[in-house]
Amino acid sequence: MNKWEELDKKYIWHPFTQMKGWLKNPQLVIDHGDGVKLYDTDGKEYLDAISSLWVNIHGHRRKEINEAIIAELNKVEHSTLLGLINEPSAELAEKLVEVTPEGLNKVFYSDDGSTAVEAAIKIAFQYWNYAGHPEKKDFINLGDSYHGDTVGAVSVGNVEVFHKAYKPLLFSTHRVSCPSFYHTKMDVRSEKEFLDALLKELEDYLKEHASHTAAMIIEPLCQCAAGMLMQPKGYIKGVRDLTKKYNVLLIVDEVAVGFGRTGLMYACKHENVLPDMMCLSKGISAGYLPLGATLVTDEIYNAFLGEPTEYKTFYHGHSYTGNNLACAAGLASLRIFENDDVIAGLPPKMEMIRQHFERINAMEFVGDARQCGMLGGIELMRDKANKVPFDPGLLMAGGICQNARKYGLIIRNIGDVIVFMPPLCSTPVEIDEMLSRLTKSMEEIF
Ligand code: PLP
């Protein structure tokens, strides 16, 4: 055990980690990164197939982003947005408005995905007071949704294993069926039938309850942290049409799926949807520094305008809101998107994933290998024909991911789903290598 592992095990409590197992097992200490590679303290190379928890876009130690942060650091490291303006946050806000759906014109900064969602929940709640409907206070969410770990974000989430311990602490929501065709227990024979059933269920609820519903929150196209659950085509558009018809706000959480992950700059673009609010984080600073943003329409923003004595202020903010360095990283990242035409370069990479996933899907213990652009999930099943999962105690997917380290691959699982999220800058050759290494590990464990 080297010095850092000793210190870590003595002092650090890791996120989402059963520390008993952590302390017992040898752990990897990362020393540095370069492009899509990470290196441990012994100099061993690993391909980063999870983009350092879905945040990295243009690779590690990308020159242009390093330089932008250093340039800002040489001016000022942080200057509060409370009562002051800073240059990078203003410029980044303009760019964010440019690259997101037309109509989202105001940016509220926060620190991460959870706080971007937390801000959206509070904005929705408060908005209806000023829009003449103070009775609209409730929220609709999706089955198996994950929107972060702060108390509000957990309230609108419901991945049983993550959230059940906190139930007494949370506000209640109305949960509609999880829109995953592979997992549904509904009696439907096709994706189209499934879509119709989902939208009917939502409309039936809205007909009765829209009058007291403030907003619906969805993670569009793919519910990532729930296990890469894909939605039927037309779902986000259908949800938008219904929420509009029944005067309920639509919050889209693009924390994981934004910034090119699904093959377009943002996921709503696949179905030309304009939400009322969009939550962004992760890829926003290309994986460099914590930053979140909640984008809203003019209609929402304008409802909060008033005299100080009207108390319409949005009473919310964080010490590091709009941090200079994080915003400088975000700006540099968006410049790379433009200069390198990152989105236009994605199809051959997505095709490489598709080819591997087709092969992986045919493996004996793979129930479903599903892809959406530059993200994918490989769900394991003991009996694929009857969709019988492995005993969770076997830790099949976890074992495969752990074993993959031997082959120089860093990848993670959520339950028995292996999550594949390479940096967008990965070349087809690098993606080929990542998925070949994963396959080797799978074959060995199977
Ligand atoms: N929303 C979604 C869809 C996420 O996937 C996540 C994190 O994985 C969050 C919110 C929370 O983001 P953070 O971990 O930055 O707080």
Q: Where are the domains of the chain?
A: 3-57+344-445, 67-339
pLDDT tens-digit series, residues 212-267: 999 999 999 999 999 999 999 999 999 999 999 999 999 999 999 999 999 999 99
Look at the pTM and tell me if it is higher than 0.95.
yes
Ligand 1 atom with the smallest distance to the CA of 115 is 16
Superfamily assignment of 3-57+344-445 in CATH?
Answer: Aspartate Aminotransferase, domain 1 (3.90.1150.10)
All residues at 6 or more sequence positions from 18 whose CB lies less than 8 Å from its CB, including other chains? none
Q: Does 412 show up as a binding residue in the annotation?
A: yes
Ligand 1 neighbourhood includes 379 CB (under 6 angstroms): no
193 Rama class: left (phi>0) / alpha (psi -120 to 50) / beta: alpha
Q: Is 98 helix (H, G, I), strand (E, B) or coil?
A: helix
Report CA-CA distances (Å) from 104 to 86, 131, 182, 223, 251: 21, 18, 33, 22, 12
Q: Does 319 show up as a binding residue in the annotation?
A: yes
pLDDT tens-digit series, residues 34-52: 999 999 999 999 999 999 9
Ligand 1 atom with the smallest distance to the CA of 282 is 15
pLDDT tens-digit series, residues 275-308: 999 999 999 999 999 999 999 999 999 999 999 8
User: DSSP labels for 354-404?
Assistant: HHHHHHHHTSTTEEEEEEETTEEEEEE-SBTTTTBPPPGGG-HHHHHHHHH
Q: State which amino acid sits at residue 103.
A: G
Ligand 1 neighbourhood includes 117 CB (under 6 angstroms): yes
Please tell me the distance between residue 438's alpha carbon and the centre of ligand 1 in angstroms: 25
In CATH terms, is domain 67-339 a member of 2.40.160.40? Answer: no
Q: Select from 217, 228, 281 the residue to mutate for testing ligand 1; criterion: most ligand atoms less than 8 Å from CB.
A: 281
Please tell me the distance between residue 255's alpha carbon and the centre of ligand 1 in angstroms: 6
Ligand 1 neighbourhood includes 281 CB (under 6 angstroms): yes
Query: Mean pLDDT, the chain, as a whole number?
Result: 97
Q: Indicate the pLDDT class of residue 314, thresholds 50, 70 and 90.
A: very high
Confirm whether 3-57+344-445 and 67-339 share one CATH topology.
Answer: no
Report CA-CA distances (Å) from 439 to 31, 359, 417: 26, 10, 14
All residues at 6 or more sequence positions from 26 whose CB lies less than 8 Å from its CB, including other chains? 1, 5
Q: Select from 112, 282, 288 the residue to mutate for testing ligand 1; criterion: most ligand atoms less than 8 Å from CB.
A: 282
Q: Indicate the pLDDT class of residue 392, thresholds 50, 70 and 90.
A: confident
Q: Does 441 show up as a binding residue in the annotation?
A: no
Whether residue 135 has pLDDT greater than 90 = yes
Tell how strand 292-297 and strand 366-372 pair up. Answer: unpaired
Q: Select from 16, 54, 146, 222 the residue to mutate for testing ligand 1; criterion: most ligand atoms less than 8 Å from CB.
A: 146
